[in-house]
A and B are shown apart, each in its own frame.
Chain A
Amino acid sequence: MKLGVVVNEGPYTHQASDTAYQFVKAALAKGHEIYRVFFYHDGVNNGTRLTVPPQDERNIVKRWSELAAEHKLDLVVCVAAAQRRGLMDKSESKRHGKDTDNIAPGFRISGLGQLIEAGIQAERLVVFGD
């Protein structure tokens, strides 16, 4: 089955991102296709490469990046939500005159249309949030 996934909460504070990750991993293992993972609200914070959790803890951001590399996942961060929360790629950073970008490997920034498109194209859209 072709699945779309939405992550509405940031890492660590809420379980949503962990559950979404485990869901995606399990779905892939069962041979399902992940059309896209869309990060919205505080979920955009799952895509910052500046996350450095203690070494004996799971690294939620790195885990998403690795899964994306392994399975060619499309991890999309909402641009409007990202701008509010200080998540940017190189071009966004340049456009806003900031001195750095912080998007993690495997993530890309795009618009809310990508969320609607995932709803249209996927057979099921699964939302993880509070």
Chain B
Amino acid sequence: MAEANESGSVKKFLYVNRKAPYGTIYALESLEVVLIGAAFEQDVSLAFLGDGVYQLVKGEDTKALEVKNFSPTYRALEDYDVTKIYVDDEALRVRGLSEADLVIPVEVVSAERMAEIMEEQDVVLSF
């Protein structure tokens, strides 16, 4: 399944998720990139900022929206070896959320730490 990476190099990829899961397609299509990208065996991290933290909130019910609920897909990330998940602490706090409200284990980090994480990356894809 893995497509060959000609140069054989491993880069640090960070996917930055900034938008709520529904209302726009960014979150879903970001997740599609993460899943496809996993086949390339790069060093992958995900960051959730701003309304992006809503993507990880438990108990999403999209029936009334007639939109596919892709919330369970986040739980599958581990199977793709995507385990570095960073969530901005202030983004959670100002929305009245905590780690316990999220569907997967994450590392809650300060804005300063998030900046450092971004600085360490080779490729940052922002959605």
Contact = CB atoms under 8 A, between A and B. Distances in A.
B28 to A, nearest CB: 10
Given A112-B36, A113-B39, A41 B125 contact: no
Interface string B23-47: 0011001001100110110100000
Contacts, number: 55
B29 A116 contact: no
Nearest to A121: B7
A129 B3 CA distance: 27
Interface residues of B, number: 23
A125 B123 contact: yes
Contacts of A129: 126-127
Main secondary structure of the interface of A (DSSP, over half): helix
B95 interface: no
A112 B38 CA distance: 11
Interface residues of A, number: 19
Interface of B: 3, 5-7, 9, 11, 13, 25-26, 29, 32-33, 36-37, 39-40, 42, 122-127
